[in-house]
Amino acid sequence: MTVLRRDFVRLAAGAPLAGFGLGTTARAQNLQTLRVLSFASDAIKQVLYPMQAGIFSKLGFQVQLDPMGSGAAIISALVGGSGDFGSGSLFPLFSAFGHGIPLRIVAPIALYDTDHCDSWLVVRADSDIHEAHDLNGKVMGGDTPGEISVVATRIWMDRHSGDGKSLRALALNVSELLPALLQGRIDTAVLRPPFLTVAMQSGRVRVLGKPLDVVAPRFLLSAWVASADYIDKNPAAVKAWVAALSAGARYVDGHQDATVDMVAQFTKQDPAQIRAGVRTIIAESVTLADVQAPLDFAYKYGVIDKQYDARGMLSEYLPLKGRNA
């Protein structure tokens, strides 16, 4: 049996198993629980599908999946021992690592790819903001003031005749960004699925640009992390976690329709809107350059105060192409 919230148990019961070569009987007894902390986003399908397909139980584990509001909360929970694996964007992780907090990347989540962009800077449709310089002195919502979307937008403004330093940041949970934008509490935000889809289909927002392009055309945008202590003491759990996520990534990227209802259930969004909108592409593996590019950007623009090799923050279990290169 796989554990999520009560309202997900029913959904998980009737899982398709095609493509994984798995049996249909889940072993409910003697399963070790993995405590997983994540944002409510389209990328959660990477975990939800292996859960409902019985992959975790076949490996001897069950998942307790809890939604969290911010990357800072997830990092605090991992360090405090109240979670085993947590998701989030890389900038908070870079900052934590640079301050000696022993967290490691164990699996990729989403890659930013300018040719398949799913992270757009938006404003209200009736806003008088049309160019980068129109954002001067405005308010942007973000997880933290140093979050990647905020920093990238400031640099994007500078490169398009604006004044990025004048942009003010308001810390909001990802689920609060769109309501805050529509209510006029903020002037702009970078939205990702499923909230981007809901926003665009509402007709109440419009796209201003792709600020994450200033980081690199392609880079690791978000990842699963765990404490170094947990990784050292629980190698079997980490191996199982990475194996299940890799299987999930392989499946969901080719079967997006099969993930609509599960994502809608977890994020509380309309399934029809999710089905018709932009979906997140999940990375099965990454290169060192995918991690080093945002790390170098974070140092160049003052998010972190020292530069270091990305290898130091990678778990040995991370699916890394050319690891020995």
- The reply to whether 239 falls in a domain is yes
CB atoms within 10 A of CB 265: 18
Among 151, 181, 209, where does a domain finish?
209
Please give the sequence-ordered ranges of beta strands (E in DSSP) within the chain, or none if there are none. Answer: 32-38, 61-67, 85-89, 103-108, 111-113, 120-124, 139-142, 168-171, 188-191, 205-209, 218-220, 222-227, 286-287, 320-321
- Write down the pLDDT at residue 323: 60
Query: Are 18 and 101 members of one domain?
Result: yes
pTM over 0.85: no
Using 70 as the pLDDT threshold, list the residues of the chain that sit under it. 1-29, 323-325
Distance CA 68, CA 35 (A): 12
Here the CATH number for the domain that contains residue 251 is 3.40.190.10
Query: Are 105 and 135 members of one domain?
Result: no
- The reply to whether 151 falls in a domain is yes
- The reply to whether 278 falls in a domain is yes
- Write down the pLDDT at residue 268: 86
* DSSP string across 206-223: EEEE-GGGGT-SEEE-EE
For strands 320-321 and 286-287, give the pairing.
parallel
- Write down the pLDDT at residue 130: 97
- The reply to whether 1 falls in a domain is no
C-alpha 129 chain-centroid distance: 28
- Write down the pLDDT at residue 29: 60
- The reply to whether 128 falls in a domain is yes
- Dihedral of the alpha carbons of 231, 236, 240, 242, in degrees to the nearest 10: 30
- Write down the pLDDT at residue 324: 53
For residue 294, whether the previous peptide bond is cis, meaning omega lies within 30 degrees of 0, is no
- Write down the pLDDT at residue 98: 86
Among 186, 209, 232, where does a domain finish?
209
- Residue from 49, 48, 62, 64 nearest 17 by CA: 49
Total of domains in the chain: 2
C-alpha 280 chain-centroid distance: 9
- Write down the pLDDT at residue 1: 34
Query: Are 204 and 296 members of one domain?
Result: no
Query: Are 104 and 227 members of one domain?
Result: yes
- The reply to whether 242 falls in a domain is yes
- The reply to whether 214 falls in a domain is no
Query: Are 312 and 165 members of one domain?
Result: no
pLDDT tens by residue, 158-199: 999 999 999 999 999 888 999 999 999 999 999 988 888 888
- The reply to whether 73 falls in a domain is yes
- Write down the pLDDT at residue 143: 74
- Measured CA to CA in angstroms, residue 116 lies from 226, 280, 311 at distances of 28, 9, 27
Please enumerate in sequence order all residues whose Cβ is within 8 A of that of 230, keeping only pairs 6 or more positions apart, or say none: 78, 84, 238
| pLDDT > 70 in the chain, percent | 90
- Write down the pLDDT at residue 79: 87
Domain that holds residue 155: 120-209
**236-250 burial by CB neighbour count: b if 16+ within 10 A, else e?**
ebbebbbbbbbbbbe
Among 141, 175, 209, where does a domain finish?
209
Longest CA span, the chain: 61
The phi-psi region of residue 126 (left if phi > 0; otherwise alpha if psi is between -120 and 50; otherwise beta) is alpha
Query: Are 104 and 224 members of one domain?
Result: yes
- Write down the pLDDT at residue 186: 98
Half-sphere exposure of 315 (CA within 13 A, CB side): 28
